[in-house]
């Protein structure tokens, strides 16, 4: 996709951040603004490459230097820090299970 220049970098980032957050009506997510959850990825746009597949989904992307989740570094200089500050994010359509067996 990068080689085809189908999207600008800014448009690609918007389509992966603020656009889905708005569509899913996720409160205080998707943009770098005061009072929002600070989920940040620092990457090299020339070298970022996803290596995950359906057969091997737990593969790190290359070209990613740092990742912060809720403001806490989880990847620093390409290495996992051991931190797990993530939390469940539920959109406006979430409905909790009612319990019991459906008949």
Tens of pLDDT, residues 8-30: 999 999 999 999 999 999 999 99
pLDDT score recorded for residue 87? 87
Q: Is the pLDDT of residue 85 over 60?
A: yes
User: What's this model's pTM, rounded to 2 decimal places?
Assistant: 0.78
pLDDT score recorded for residue 1? 62
**pLDDT category, 99, cuts 50, 70, 90?**
low
Spatial neighbors of 91 by CB under 8 A, at least 6 apart, are 24, 25, 26
Q: Tokens 């990068």 label which residue?
A: 2
Between CA 77 and CA 96 the distance in angstroms is 39
- What are the pLDDT digits (tens) for 30-45? 999 999 998 999 999 9
Whether the CB-CB separation of 61 and 50 falls below 8 Å is answered with yes
């Amino acid at each position: 996709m990068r080689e085809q220049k189908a999207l600008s970098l800014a448009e690609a980032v918007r389509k992966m951040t603020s656009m889905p957050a708005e569509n899913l009506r996720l409160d205080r997510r998707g943009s770098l603004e005061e009072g929002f959850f600070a989920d940040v990825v620092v990457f090299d746009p020339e070298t970022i490459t996803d290596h995950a597949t359906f057969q091997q989904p737990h593969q790190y992307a290359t070209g990613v230097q740092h990742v912060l989740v809720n403001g806490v570094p989880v990847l620093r200089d390409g290495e996992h820090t051991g931190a797990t500050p993530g939390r469940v994010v539920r959109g406006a359509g979430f409905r909790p299970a009612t319990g019991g067996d459906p008949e």
